Amino acid sequence: MKKRIKFLVCFIIIFSMLSSITAFANYNAVLESSVKEKGGKIYSDIYILFNLDNDTVIFEKNADKKAAPASLTKIMTAAIVIEKCQNLEETVDIPAAPIRLLDGTGSSMAGLYVGEKMSVKNLLYCLLVRSGNDAANILAQHIGGTIENFVQMMNERAAKLGCTNTHFANAHGLDDPNHYTTARDLLKISEYALSLPHFEEITSTVSYTIPATNMSSERYLHNTNYLMNKAYSDYYSPYASGIKTGTTDNAGRCVISKGTGNGYNYLCVVMNAPFMNIDDDAIEENCAFIDCKMMFNWVFDNIELQSVASTTQIVAEVPLELSFEKDYITLVPAEDVLALVPVGTQAGGVLIDPIEDTIPEHVDAPVEKGQEIAEARVLYAGSEIARVKLVASESVSRNGLLYIGSIIKNIVSSLAFKIIAAILVAMILAYVVLFVYVNYKRRQRRKLKIVHPEVKSNGEYTKKDNKKKK
């Protein structure tokens, strides 16, 4: 058995048209190559496609770039209303001030009348289906007491959701220098909104009838820009159930849509897309819809959940000490790993790459089967698609003699032992030097006594000798 850590190395080979592609964030390069193969292009400046089932980003471009969100703002507006209002059937008296604030803006309105009485729920339909800015201001004032207080609630909720590049200045989404967000932050906001009651029900509505009120007859709300509107067949994806659209001069064309099919659920955020003629038919197209449809269709046609790592798959070997049974312990994934990969990807198309910093130089016995040793990245086309713990594939017992030897070795090699040993050596050397010195002095005194027996040990003559000298 080899005495070095061994990795399983695989080279990615799938669809012939993609064999030379190097992916960046997830499957960006795969998508771009596929679109080019069909003679198309991606028009939007900002987008992100996210799998809701296993929290995986499939595609992204400029997902952290700050941009004007237009009416995508209303997703947070609706979320705060649903979060704060305990009874969506409560009646709101439509005030004048929130509507007058929009005079001269030429913005999208639901046509609400001052003095009209309408439930919060129906105002939410006016907000999300008709994209009424008047409904946004009315709901903001009703829930927050003032629009300013409501906007503060929006910013506080955004901060709690981890939206670090978001700041709201209003509840409707009209352009403002202090009103911005990112595709990644909108993804977080949309996920939160989808977790609230009624939100998905309302945003999945193509048209809605509001019963007659005290000041108006029956209203029929219809969202002509809605992604699910089959009248706009060029924009329609059979998987899409759009959440919200929006457009302003600064924001360009924007859309957030949920896609569901084949047992999978995705959120797609597209921002800052152009409105232009892309097919020479004298009709301008909303390129946010075009890109959203393309991404949904591609991912549902080409991506599927597959097993990319198995608990029986040997990924690495680590030197084993304190055992006569084996020299190495083999590492396998702690659990089977499922990941979204292109259709047709085989086991050889995925690389399980042990993370070097997590791999120990050696492992000491005893080792229990399933004991966590290291970690590995699961790579597809050079991009990380999952992480997995690496564990021991079997149990190995410890040898007693080797263990005792290792204890002695550890003691001898420890700093404390080295310090104590150094002190003892220094004491022994000092004792030897002192012993040699004392013996030397003793021999010197003996020599003096032999030559001059009348001399005392301190070098003085005796009294009798002194008298003789006199």
Exposed, middle or buried, 8 (CB in 10 Å: 0-12/13-18/19+)?
Answer: middle
Phi-psi region of 437 (alpha: psi -120 to 50; beta: other; left: phi over 0): alpha
Structural domain includes residue 391: yes
> Residue 343 — very low, low, confident or very high, per pLDDT cuts 50/70/90?
confident
In a shared domain, residues 232 and 311: no
At residue 8, the pLDDT reads: 30
Q: Where among 273, 293, 319 does a domain terminate?
A: 273
Structural domain includes residue 147: yes
In a shared domain, residues 125 and 153: yes
Residue-wise DSSP of 137-202: HHHHHHHHSSHHHHHHHHHHHHHHTT-TT-B-S-SS----TT-BB-HHHHHHHHHHHHTSTTHHHH
In a shared domain, residues 120 and 265: yes
pLDDT above 80 for 23: no
In a shared domain, residues 184 and 65: yes
Query: Whats the size of the chain, residue-wise?
Result: 470
Cβ(166)–Cβ(180) under 8 Å? Answer: yes
Structural domain includes residue 184: yes
Q: What's the structural domain count of the chain?
A: 3
> Residue 272 — very low, low, confident or very high, per pLDDT cuts 50/70/90?
very high
In a shared domain, residues 216 and 69: yes
Percent of the chain past pLDDT 90, that is, above it, reads 50
Residue-wise DSSP of 323-369: -SS-SEEEEEESS-EEEEEETT--GGG-EEEE-GGGS-S-EESPB-T
Q: pLDDT for 68-97, tens place per residue? A: 999 999 999 999 999 999 999 999 999 999
Three-class secondary structure assignment of 223-256: CCCCCCCCCCHHHCCCCEEEEEEEEECCCEEEEE
In a shared domain, residues 421 and 392: no
Place of tokens 């190995």: 396
At residue 262, the pLDDT reads: 84
In a shared domain, residues 347 and 460: no
pLDDT above 90 for 339: no
282: helix, strand or coil: coil
Cα angle: 71, vertex 77, 79; to 5 degrees:
125
Cβ(315)–Cβ(278) under 8 Å? Answer: no
In a shared domain, residues 446 and 320: no
Structural domain includes residue 101: yes
Sign of CA dihedral 287, 43, 384, 306: positive
Query: Domain containing 364 — which CATH number?
Result: 2.60.410.10
Q: Choose between 418 and 449: higher pLDDT.
A: 418
Three-class secondary structure assignment of 49-94: EEECCCCEEEEEECCCCCECCHHHHHHHHHHHHHHHCCCCCCEEEC
CB proximity list for 214: less than 8 A, separation 6 or greater: 115, 116, 117
pLDDT above 60 for 24: no
Average pLDDT, the chain: 84
Structural domain includes residue 30: no
Mean pLDDT along residues 165-182: 98
Mean pLDDT along residues 261-266: 88
Structural domain includes residue 41: no
Query: Domain containing 96 — which CATH number?
Result: 3.40.710.10
Specify the pairing of strand 383-392 against strand 372-380. antiparallel
User: How many other C-beta atoms lie within 10 A of the C-beta of residue 62?
Assistant: 17
Phi, psi at 381, each rounded to 5°: 50, 35
Specify the pairing of strand 316-321 against strand 363-364. parallel
Q: Choose between 418 and 213: higher pLDDT.
A: 213
Which range of residues forms the domain containing residue 436?
417-469
In a shared domain, residues 170 and 50: yes
389: helix, strand or coil: strand
At residue 28, the pLDDT reads: 83
Cα angle: 2, vertex 385, 55; to 5 degrees:
145
In a shared domain, residues 237 and 314: no
Q: Where among 257, 273, 289 does a domain terminate?
A: 273
In a shared domain, residues 261 and 325: no
At residue 49, the pLDDT reads: 95
Cβ(372)–Cβ(340) under 8 Å? Answer: no
> Range with the lowest mean pLDDT among 38-47, 151-160, 219-228?
219-228
Structural domain includes residue 237: yes
Q: Where among 401, 431, 455 does a domain terminate?
A: 401
CB proximity list for 238: less than 8 A, separation 6 or greater: 261
At residue 17, the pLDDT reads: 26
Phi, psi at 218, each rounded to 5°: -55, 135
In a shared domain, residues 209 and 77: yes
pTM over 0.85: no
pLDDT above 70 for 7: no
> Residue 18 — very low, low, confident or very high, per pLDDT cuts 50/70/90?
very low
pLDDT above 70 for 232: no
Residue-wise DSSP of 100-141: HTTTTS------PPTT-EEEHHHHHHHHHTS--HHHHHHHHH
At residue 461, the pLDDT reads: 52
At residue 470, the pLDDT reads: 45
pLDDT above 60 for 398: yes
> Range with the lowest mean pLDDT among 116-125, 165-174, 424-433?
424-433
Structural domain includes residue 251: yes
Q: pLDDT for 236-245, tens place per residue? A: 677 777 688 9
CB proximity list for 249: less than 8 A, separation 6 or greater: 175
Q: Choose between 348 and 232: higher pLDDT.
A: 348
At residue 206, the pLDDT reads: 82
At residue 374, the pLDDT reads: 95
Q: pLDDT for 344-394, tens place per residue? A: 666 557 889 999 999 999 999 899 999 999 999 988 777 777 889 999 999
> Residue 228 — very low, low, confident or very high, per pLDDT cuts 50/70/90?
very low
> Range with the lowest mean pLDDT among 32-46, 64-78, 211-225?
211-225
Q: What share of the chain is helix, strand, coil (3-state, %, to 5)?
A: 35, 25, 40
CB proximity list for 268: less than 8 A, separation 6 or greater: 47, 48, 49, 50, 240, 255, 256, 257, 258, 259, 292, 295, 296
